[in-house]
Chains A and B, each alone.
Chain A
Amino acid sequence: MDFGRISRRHLLQGSAALTLGSALGVRSAAAADMTIGFIYVGSRDDYGYNQAHAQGAAVLKKLPGIKVVEEEKVPETDAVEKTMESMINLDGATLLFPTSFGYYNPHMVKVAAKYPKLHFEHCGGLWSDKDPKNAGSYFGYIDEAQYISGIVAGYSTKSGKLGFVAAKPIPQVLRNINAFTLGAKLANPKATTQVIFTGDWSMPVKEAEATNSLIDQGVDVLTCHVDGPKTMVENAARRGAMVCGYHVDQSPLAPKAYLTGAEWNWEALYPKFVKMIQAGESIPNFYRGGLKEEIVKCSPYGEAVSAEARKHADDIKAQLIAGTYTIFKGPIMDNKGKTVIAAGTERGQKDPELEKMDYLVEGVIGATS
């Protein structure tokens, strides 16, 4: 047998197939010039944290030339590295959004260091100079929206008792509780916020029990900071209490009881990121913002919100958007009587001290440990 001839023919066939393949490859790459990967820790229609991100991803899907790949329920372990690797190597993703807190270090940092030409954007992490330059962290000052919810809640409560169903006493959660309470005291100086920690991000039975206990104590307006506010919203509405939402708009769940809510506005932020990359600009590694930067927003007011409450809340909202208002402005005491922000001190939103918050302000009934 003439091996040389056969092998030459095979070589020709092979190279022809290769050329064809790469031509097709180029064409499909041109059809979608950017593939973006989204990774969620839970289910993307949880009426909460993950749904907020998925709504942002949905806006990107509609942009021309953008392909979005998504994976849900990826644990905060090595699993997320594997998901990122497969999105990069199999789907050709060049921009990745691992959206859960625990994905950042070491997982995303490791993968970002391995693929220095790709972009990695993480929600909630604290990017530092030591981390790869192609990695970034973004987050919103959602406490601004919680402050507005607090004002509305302060006007809407009859008993002066507000309730907060919280997961864990970490700085982001405490900041929301404190902002909500400070807002409420603006409307009603005697208002108090009773907080119950359930111990974890998704504990539906505990959340329902916490909601019932709060209402038994005379609380008539509730809000929360857990992954899925659906349980709290539905159970509170059943007991005739009013609610302020969190993460996304939950008004369809309880149209009559829903006052307003603190929502993420990833629909506005993610297209901005994509435009920056397409224009060849670099996204700031540490990206933060609030109502002004359109990273957070407030749900539309429910029918139960009075004209007075709307006016006051809109006024403060306008000042926050203009950047002329400070929420954490001294003197602020914690609920043990210690001064935590001295008179004359203003802690603006970007103040790193606020990201270390470990106290509950005066007017909050509860403890961090």
Chain B
Amino acid sequence: MADGSIGLWTVPLAVFGGAIRVSTPFLFVSLGECITERSGRINLGLEGTLVMGAMSAYGISYLTGSPWLGVLAAGVTGALLGALHAGICSLPRVNDVAVGIALMLFGTGLAFFLGKPLIEPTAARLPAIDFGWWSDIPQLRAALQINVLFLIGVVLAPILYWAFRTTRWGLLIRTAGESSDAARAMGHSVLLIRLRATMVGGFLAGIGGSFLSLFYPGSWNEGLSSGQGITAVALVIFARWDPMLCLWASLAFGGAAALGPALQSVGVTSGYHLFNAAPYILTLAIMIITCSPKRTLTGAPAELSITR
């Protein structure tokens, strides 16, 4: 069009672009949580890990000028928080859900405290790869400014899917998650397996946080996560602990988050609160469709405290 607008095409394009832009933190947190939960433990603290990751990535990127060092720092912070969770849960008669909630509050609180001086400065951002070079529509080109982290996440999902089925450590994690007795009988330490799984989960969640502060929306502030970490944990449940389904669910959530603003921008202005609630309505709908009182959740690790 002459004035450079693309009219109603904005909506599908925004949902597509949103699926790519918004989904990455969901993807990393849900893949991380998938690994942790498959080992038989639930870590609700990933919301705190996400926020801590975002804060430490921003801080390190600001101090060193290298956003990639920031991503690494976010991952290490996440792994440490994961180790803390696993460490506390290794003690006898400790409830992992309660520890998770405590760590969620601890992580967000600590991040807000340490991140105070980081709200104002602008840190170096992660670069985007231009996949829209072939198009002359600026809107499409903008939507195709894709960050490497997103691509890593997309590749990671099938790798995990494969690894859970065929690799030695994938099967070990699943054994620990399905029957700790069996894992013990084989001579493995269940606690050690879970410690590693929770640390890897935390590492990925921390990287998800670095995407928030270093790429999109791309700065550190206290409202940055607004519950995305906890949404991602719920997402694992309705993705049935399957990494590939985590990928699709994350994309759907990203797209749904973009729907509200996109519809308003083309003039569908009534009921925007409803459209803004789209991700949550989607969660409820999928939960209702897939739940049945007659059977337990398919795919749920048997050792998980919520299914036991």
Contacts and interface: CB of A to CB of B under 8 A. Distances in A.
Interface stretch (B28-36, B219-227, B237-245): B219-227
Nearest to A226: B223
B272 A199 contact: yes
B266 to A, nearest CB: 7
Interface in A280-333: none
B4 A47 contact: no
Interface stretch (A21-29, A121-129, A212-220, A342-350): A212-220
The 8 closest A-B pairs by CB, nearest first: A218-B5, A202-B223, A367-B269, A213-B265, A208-B217, A210-B261, A216-B139, A209-B261
Contacts of A149: none
Given A43-B119, A217-B266, A367-B269, 12 more contacts: A45-B116, A46-B119, A159-B3, A197-B264, A199-B276, A209-B260, A212-B261, A213-B10, A218-B4, A234-B122, A253-B122, A366-B269
A214 to B, nearest CB: 6
9 contacts: A45-B117, A197-B272, A202-B223, A205-B226, A206-B260, A208-B217, A208-B218, A217-B266, A230-B221
A196 B261 contact: yes
Nearest to A194: B265
A118 interface: no
Nearest to B269: A367
Interface stretch (B11-19, B45-53, B85-93, B200-208): B11-19
Most buried by B among A203, A210, A212: A212
A204 interface: yes
Contacts of A208: 21, 216-218
A212 B276 CA distance: 16
A interface SS class: mixed
Interface of B: 3-6, 10, 13-14, 17-18, 21-22, 112, 116-117, 119-120, 122, 139, 142, 216-219, 221-224, 226, 228, 257-258, 260-262, 264-267, 269-270, 272-273, 276
A42 B219 contact: no
A206 B5 contact: no
Interface string A226-237: 001011001100
Contacts of A369: 270
Contacts of A235: 217-218
A212 B143 CA distance: 9
A193 B123 CA distance: 31
Contact of B14 (A195, A206, A216): A216
Contact of A209 (B14, B116, B142, B267): B14
A365 interface: yes
A207 B217 contact: yes
B224 A204 contact: yes
Interface string A325-369: 000000000000000000000000000000000000000011101
B267 A365 contact: yes
A48 to B, nearest CB: 9
B53 to A, nearest CB: 15
A198 interface: yes
A117 interface: no
A82 interface: no
A10 interface: no
A203 B221 contact: no
A239 interface: yes
Nearest to B142: A239
Nearest to B263: A213
A205 B17 CA distance: 13
B269 A231 contact: no
B221 A43 contact: yes
Contacts of A206: 257, 260-261, 276
B247 to A, nearest CB: 19
A217 B276 CA distance: 19
Given A205-B257, A216-B142, A46 B221 contact: yes
Contacts of A210: 261, 264-265
B4 A209 contact: no
A218 B221 contact: no
A367 B268 CA distance: 9
B6 A216 contact: yes
A369 B260 CA distance: 13
